[in-house]
Amino acid sequence: MSDNRPVGLFDSGVGGISVMKELRKILPHEDLIYFADSANCPYGNNPPEFIRERARIISDFLLSQGIKLLVIACNTASVAALSQIRQALVIPVVGIEPAIKPATTLTRNGRVGVLATGVTLAGERFTSLVERFADGIEVYSQACPGLVEMIEAGQIESEDTKELLSAYLEKLLAQEVDTIVLGCTHYPFLRPEVENLAGEKVKVIDTGSAVSQQVARVLAANQLLTSTEDSGQEIFYTNGTSPEIERVIRQLWGDPNLIVHQINI
Ligand code: DGL
2 is a domain residue? no
**How far is residue 132's CA from residue 17's CA, in Å, rounded to a whole number?**
29
Co-location of 159 and 214 in the same domain: no
Protein residue whose Cα sits closest to atom 9 of ligand 1: 44
**How far is residue 85's CA from residue 142's CA, in Å, rounded to a whole number?**
27
Co-location of 178 and 104 in the same domain: yes
Domain of 189, CATH number, reads 3.40.50.1860
Of the three residues 158, 189, 206, the one that is the final residue of a domain is 206
CB of 78 shorter than 6 A to ligand 1: no
Co-location of 111 and 196 in the same domain: yes
Question: What local confidence, expressed as pLDDT, does residue 1 receive?
Answer: 87
60 is a domain residue? yes
Question: What local confidence, expressed as pLDDT, does residue 44 receive?
Answer: 87
pLDDT in tens, 101-156: 999 999 999 999 999 999 999 989 999 999 999 889 999 999 999 999 999 999 99
Co-location of 214 and 91 in the same domain: yes
1 is a domain residue? no
CB of 54 shorter than 6 A to ligand 1: no
The number of distinct structural domains making up the chain is 2
Atom of ligand 1 nearest to the CA of 119: 9
Co-location of 146 and 72 in the same domain: no
Q: Distance from the CA of 181 to the center of ligand 1, in angstroms?
A: 14
The β-bridge partners of 69 are 7
Of the three residues 159, 190, 206, the one that is the final residue of a domain is 206
229 is a domain residue? yes
Low-confidence ranges of the chain (pLDDT < 50): none
Taking only Cα atoms into account, the Rg of the chain, rounded to an integer number of angstroms, comes to: 18
The β-bridge partners of 113 are 140, 180
Our mutation pick for probing the ligand 1 site, out of 11, 125, 181, 248, counting the most ligand atoms within 8 A of Cβ, is 11
pTM for this structure? Answer: 0.96
Co-location of 83 and 28 in the same domain: yes
Question: What local confidence, expressed as pLDDT, does residue 202 receive?
Answer: 98
133 is a domain residue? yes
Co-location of 128 and 151 in the same domain: yes
52 is a domain residue? yes
Q: Distance from the CA of 200 to the center of ligand 1, in angstroms?
A: 26
CB of 79 shorter than 6 A to ligand 1: no
Co-location of 112 and 202 in the same domain: yes
**Domain membership of residue 201 as a residue range:** 100-206
Of the three residues 178, 206, 234, the one that is the final residue of a domain is 206
Pairing of strands 260-262, 138-143: unpaired
CB of 179 shorter than 6 A to ligand 1: no
Q: Which amino acid is at 172?
A: L
Co-location of 173 and 109 in the same domain: yes
Q: Distance from the CA of 227 to the center of ligand 1, in angstroms?
A: 33
Co-location of 65 and 113 in the same domain: no
Co-location of 200 and 251 in the same domain: no
**How far is residue 74's CA from residue 96's CA, in Å, rounded to a whole number?**
6
Question: What local confidence, expressed as pLDDT, does residue 45 receive?
Answer: 79
CB of 18 shorter than 6 A to ligand 1: no
Co-location of 11 and 58 in the same domain: yes
Question: What local confidence, expressed as pLDDT, does residue 238 receive?
Answer: 98
